[in-house]
Amino acid sequence: MQIYNTVEDVAFDCDYAWVATGYAIISYHQKTGEQHFISETNTGINGYINEIEIDQNGLTTTGLYFLKNNLITKIESAIIDSALSDSYHLYNLKVDGIGNIWFSDYNHIIYKYNPISNQCSVFTLHESNSKLLLATNEIGNLYALVFNYTTGYFLYVLNENISTVAALEQLPFISKYPSSFVIDNENNFWVTVGAEVSYGKDEY
């Protein structure tokens, strides 16, 4: 697979691996090796592609655009345009099991957009200045993992409202920000963090 620029995000459907590389989308067929290269210049996408997500139907959502049957279409929504007007990037893009599109903006305000009804719900977490990671499950819930060096981890579930799932104790080592957060089919939460010690590599 030819990669241009840096790899920003990766997603998988039943047949293809999809890669977002900043100014392009690359699909790679896992059985045949067939590749498709879609660059910003020939899609009409205006901006940096930093998130990519797959829904149940193989639709690839990248920022405010979606790709289906090799056609790029912009998601037309005034409330989304307003939400992103003060920040260049859309962050933490997720598509849940019932088709809602979730994302956050630069200020960690979380949006749930329903493309069928063209309705958008807005959620504001208390820890707005902390590290934020999002994960979804198949029944339409969004889980928000918030990390702060002072207060530790907080886990929230969002659907119609915000509910606290857990306030987790800090890990027993000096932890960097979480780098990934996913939910498996049994609703277990998985978090990857880095670890730092002061004694050398044998103590990691």
Count how many Cα atoms sit within 13 Å of the Cα of residue 168 in the half-sphere of its side chain.
15
Max avg pLDDT among 10-14, 167-171, 200-204: 10-14
Residue 162: partners with Cβ closer than 8 Å, 6 or more residues away:
123, 125, 156
Q: pLDDT: is 123 or 176 the higher one?
A: 123
Residues 10-36: what's their mean pLDDT?
Answer: 86
Residue 26 pLDDT greater than 90, yes or no = no
137, 185, 129: which is closest to 158 by C-alpha? 137
Residue 77 pLDDT greater than 80, yes or no = no
Residue 191 pLDDT greater than 70, yes or no = yes
Q: In the sheet that 142-148 helps form, which strands lie side by side, from edge to edge?
A: 131-136, 142-148, 152-158, 162-168
Joined tokens for residue 52: 């990519």
**What phi, psi does 93 have (nearest 5°)?**
-70, 130
| 139/125 Cα distance (integer angstroms) | 21
Residue 31: partners with Cβ closer than 8 Å, 6 or more residues away:
15
Tell me the sheet residues that pair with 32. Answer: none
pTM: predicted TM-score of the whole model, two decimal places: 0.78
Confidence of residue 204 (pLDDT cuts 50, 70, 90): very low
pLDDT at 21: 82
